[in-house]
A and B are shown apart, each in its own frame.
Chain A
Amino acid sequence: MSSLFIFEGTLWNPTLFIALFAGILTLLWMFNKLWNHSYNKGQQEEPFISGNAELEEMHPKAPSIYWGFFEAFKGFYSKMHEMHSNAVNDYVFWFLLTLVIILLIGVII
């Protein structure tokens, strides 16, 4: 299984990585020097929304960006939500259930 160790030898060369990173950063910095920076800071930086006014709800909220995933797993998540009820009794119940299962497995096998 010598292929598992890819840290030694030529595949993982940290100095090469750091040199590449520094080189690409230098390249980008040189591009930045050659850029044309003449634009209006306040006005021309805003996103262009075709002249409409910017509303408060324009930034989609975080929970809605994976909507399709959540819809597909709705049954799973509804079950998980009711299991994660906030009551201590359920927490102790799960501990006892795990303890009983592990005791049965451990003692019998």
Chain B
Amino acid sequence: MNEWVSFLSVNALWLIIVVPLMGAFLAGAASKLNKKWCFPIALFSVLFSFIFVMLLAQQVWAGGIVANTVEHVSQTTLTLPSGSVLPIRIFLLADGMSILMAFIGSLISVLAVIYSFQFIKSQETFYYPLFLVMISGMYGMVLTGDLFNLFVFLEISSISATGLVMTFNRKRSPDSAFKLITVSTIAAMMILVAIGILYSQYNALNMSFLAQAIQWTLLDKIALCLLFTGFAMKAGSVPMHFWVPDAYGDTPASVSAFFVVLSQASLYALFRICFSLFGLSINNVTVGWIIIILGVLSMFIGVMMALVQKDIKRLMAFHAISQTGYMLLGVGVGLAVLGTPAFVEFGSMAMQGSIFHMLNHSIYKGLLFLTAGAVFYAAGTRDLRELRGLGHYMPLTTIFFMVGAFAITGLPPFNGFASKLLIYESVYAFNPVLSAIALLVSILTLASFMKVFYAAFLGPKPKKKPKPIPHTMLFAMLVLSLLCVVFGLFPGIILDALIKPAVEALVSAVSYSGVFTFV
């Protein structure tokens, strides 16, 4: 028994990625015998990953970076075992930022699987295996230390996400899925070109080895631009955001809640590249200002387009774009002042605000998508012109929607307030105009959510009685709203425990680049 425990704890990194993958194939095979076995297998594998992410988080916060090469045992020391000279093998690496993203992903994946028990009634053999593959792809993207591995898991998650768009086979689904996969493939191809350029220069694909070997030549600049644009496209920032409302709008609600986490994993990859991979030699003012401009455009255009929509999921998808703008703004400010004394004053706080916003955004955006799914389940339509008066029959869903709407606009006792306040104050110290735009976008966000609340939940009673919401869906929404309230009331604890290690891990390129040194 003891050797099982030590085996599990030593190999936790790749078990987190592999168990959902094995669960996907097991669920696909077992569903041929009996369709009811899909859900328990899915729930077990997702819970397993969740527990191991928590155990790994303890290790990372206590002892620094945890690294693992697939053949050898994991180690926290700095030199690779003897006999290996070429830094080309599959490395897995978990530092503060990676484990935070894995924590976000595990939380939302557990709740999405619980939610989809009653939501997906007829397509289980199709849905659960693809969902588990997408979850495993997300874990692979955030826990890897190797560039090509990042590309492979990026493609795994995009292709399975495309399959999941087709779960409810409506008229528009193949069109949205085609757009999603075209856009994802083009972004991934550009990323592969950049990986090829970096490999040709330095004969290495390992991110921490590259971090200490990169000099700022012309080809490196081209690789950075290609990587940057590819990942910014996958994250949904503005000039390339057109696929987001189509893809988020036509999927089932639990998948949309997980797409948010996938976009944030792409955002994590972007930050990893800008801070850790190119960290010691980047021209941080230029790249920081590019990120700031993308962020401001995303915020503004996202919310202006969200006000006009008539479909509840498309509206929330545009809000996802605008909140991604907040994250880009904060990290851009942090990057632009990196290395100067202003970083200690307000740059570090901007980055803490952005990364806290990533955590909060997954929680409240997941909650909002799950309530939109509940509205669709109850009333059978997603069009805001035909919904009315659901608050008479669904009081709990109304409360959860209100919690989510208040959290996204940044009202005080909820978690949106904490992260947005950090972003407003630190960006104000950098440049007041940006902070004013951020505040204006908050007000417009509130306006559009009041519109949705009015249309869907207020008004006279609907003609036909809506279907009652099953308990598993209510449970998932309840957990998310409780997290909204708790993270909002005690933000200091979350900042010290989760976010500050993440920001320090991201910013200190020196410690990241020193993980794999070769004898």
Contacts and interface: CB of A to CB of B under 8 A. Distances in A.
B429 interface: yes
Interface in A20-70: 47, 54, 58-59, 61-63, 65-66, 69-70
Interface residues of A, number: 41
Contacts of B491: 7
Interface of A: 1, 4, 7-8, 12, 14, 17-18, 47, 54, 58-59, 61-63, 65-66, 69-70, 73, 76-77, 80, 83-84, 86, 88, 90-92, 94-95, 97-99, 102-103, 105-107, 109
Interface residues of B, number: 58
Contacts of B459: 59
Contacts, number: 118
- Main DSSP-derived SS at the A contact region: helix
Given A8-B492, A97-B239, A59 B388 contact: yes
Nearest to A56: B463
Interface of B: 175, 178-179, 182-183, 186-187, 190, 218, 221-222, 224-226, 228-229, 232-233, 239-240, 242-243, 246, 283, 286-287, 290, 301, 304-305, 307-308, 310, 345-346, 349, 384-385, 387-389, 413, 418, 425-426, 429, 447, 451-452, 454-455, 459-460, 489-492, 495
Contacts of A65: 451, 454
18 contacts: A4-B425, A7-B491, A12-B492, A14-B489, A14-B490, A61-B384, A62-B310, A62-B385, A62-B451, A62-B454, A63-B310, A65-B454, A84-B305, A86-B246, A88-B179, A92-B186, A97-B239, A107-B218
Contacts of A98: 229, 232-233, 239-240
Residue among B175, B226, B242, B459 with max Cβ neighbours from chain A (10 Å): B242
B286 A105 contact: yes
B239 A109 contact: no
A7 B186 CA distance: 44
Contacts of B286: 105-106, 109
Residue among A77, A99, A103 with max Cβ neighbours from chain B (10 Å): A99
B220 to A, nearest CB: 10
Contacts of B186: 92, 95
A66 B447 contact: yes
Given A17-B413, A103-B225, A63 B240 contact: no
A91 B418 CA distance: 35
A8 B387 CA distance: 44
Nearest to A102: B225
Given A4-B426, A18-B489, A99 B226 contact: yes
Given A1-B429, A92-B182, 14 more contacts: A7-B491, A62-B451, A63-B384, A66-B451, A77-B308, A80-B301, A91-B183, A91-B242, A95-B239, A103-B225, A105-B290, A106-B224, A106-B290, A107-B225
A107 B283 CA distance: 11
Contact of B385 (A61, A69, A86): A61
A70 B489 contact: no
Contacts of B233: 95, 98
A91 B240 contact: yes
A63 B383 CA distance: 11
Contacts of B455: 61-62
Contacts of B490: 14
Contact of A107 (B221, B229, B451): B221
Nearest to A73: B304
Contacts of B389: 59
- What 8 pairs across the A-B complex have the smallest Cβ distances? A62-B455, A14-B489, A62-B384, A106-B225, A59-B459, A98-B239, A7-B492, A99-B229
A41 B402 CA distance: 27
A97 B233 CA distance: 12
Contact of B178 (A59, A88, A90, A109): A88
A70 B308 contact: yes
A72 B296 CA distance: 22
Contacts of B224: 106
B179 A94 contact: no
A70 B418 CA distance: 31
Contacts of B290: 102, 105-106
B29 to A, nearest CB: 35
A58 B385 contact: no
Contacts of A58: 460
B310 A86 contact: no
A17 B301 CA distance: 35
Contacts of A66: 307, 447, 451
B460 A94 contact: no
B308 A63 contact: yes
Nearest to A95: B240
A100 B246 CA distance: 25
Nearest to A98: B239
A8 to B, nearest CB: 6
Nearest to A70: B308
A86 B349 CA distance: 39
A80 B304 contact: yes
Contacts of B240: 91, 94-95, 98
B454 A91 contact: no
Contacts of A95: 183, 186-187, 229, 233, 239-240
Contacts of A94: 239-240, 242
